[in-house]
Amino acid sequence: MMAALPAGVQEYLFTFGILVSFIGMIISAVKSRGDMRALLSGYGPNRTHLMLLIVAVLLFALLEIFLVGQTQQLFFDDAIYQAMALDLLHTGQAWMCNYGTMTSCFSGQIFHEPIGESFNLAIGFLVLGVHRHSAYYTNFALGAVAVAFTYLSTLVLFGKRRIALLSALFIAMSPVMLVWAIPTTSDMPMLAYSLIAIFGMLVFVRKKTIWTFGLMLFSLSLLSYMKVDAVVYLLVIPLMYVILDDNSVMASIKANISMLKENVLNTRMLVMLLVFAIAISPELGFAHSELVSGSFGFQKAYVQESCNTQYTIIAKGAINLQNLNANICSNIYFWFDAYKSDYVMQPIIFTAFGIFGAASMFIMRKRRELLALGIWFLFFFLLYDAFYAGSVTYGVDWRFMLSLIAQASIFAGFGVSALISLGEDKHTEIDD
């Protein structure tokens, strides 16, 4: 459908869609600020939350500044997104221009991610000036947003400041976060906006108003533009919502069917749904065309069997079970720091805390939260296992683990908090 449009037209549609999504999210956030403030106040003083947020983000910033240099890890992608950002500023078209003027482009090309990262970089260029370091600082800011919204999402999910702070500290210290916070690829924006969308969904679970509904919708629409992979969130976030919205999945489904019946003639809700559909349609059309006819470079690519380095396969598709079988071992070993000699790192202690956290959720009857986080993790773990270039040992594609690191950090934060609680209980018994 998108491919049938005249050259340059679909690029304006991308720009229109992401602008509507961005404006819709901002308006919804402003309109629902009272609900968010009241919700967060229920978990303690808002000033305390702000201080804890600053601590987590400051740790991330200090580690990034003093331990990680400003470098581009994937030059080809970085150059394309930065070039597209300039075209967005000059012409409003979301592509890399091959032939044109400062005000219009006659011939260009789209990469696999049509606009999300370039949209963020365009804002950075507009505010900070057109410079390579402006692009770096923009992505670094998105990393800080990811840390902040890990705190906020965890706080709303569990209602405990300690779990929220520990989760934010884990993601702030994660090597994959620190290494990929500066390079201008589409993975960090997808992480940051996914956490905003998760937070929006959690707010709507707790505070069901027309504007928190809008916050959930438009943050999801905006997220979908960050990377083609993000379209998966159109399934993941509704699933998480149904799991978390009531005491059981069936109770949640019944309650939401009743809510839909009550609001079927609600004009504001219908208008919001219509605007959401218009906003997300260009990205859905692009994702469909990529699925049907897109070329992801898998042709004649060799995928090494990570459990048996003597065996390789020739990729027969961008995503299939054959790729999953080849990639799954390396993507499991990653969580146990098996590739640190290749600078592909995940401290094993972080994973240990995460596993303990998942077990603790089950034991402490936080099973809906465990299921929601598990689905969030598993969808993207399997997606990248099935992708021909989805192994952490395939070039620099361990950046895909950014889609899993927030979930792992929340599990780890819960695990450490559970251990601290065990110590507190023993201390209380001694005092008694």
Hey, which bits of 263-317 come out as E strands?
302-304, 312-314
pLDDT at 255: 83
DSSP state of 337: T
User: What is the biggest distance separating any 2 CA atoms in the chain, rounded to whole angstroms?
Assistant: 79
Give the chain's residues under pLDDT 70.
Answer: 1-8, 111-114, 294-297, 309-310, 425-432
Q: Where are the alpha helices (DSSP H) in 68-96?
A: 75-91
CA–CA distances in Å: residue 393 to residues 176, 385, 400: 13, 12, 11
Cβ neighbour number for residue 314 with a 10 Å cutoff: 12
pLDDT at 335: 97
Radius of gyration (C-alpha) of the chain in whole angstroms: 22
| Residue 312 half-sphere exposure toward CB, CA atoms < 13 A | 11
Mind listing the pLDDT tens digit for each residue in 48-105?
989 999 999 999 999 999 988 777 778 778 888 888 898 888 888 878 888 877 777 7
pLDDT at 431: 35
pTM above 0.95, yes or no: no
Mind listing the pLDDT tens digit for each residue in 216-250?
999 999 999 999 899 999 999 999 999 999 877 78
pLDDT at 248: 77
Amino acid at 167: S
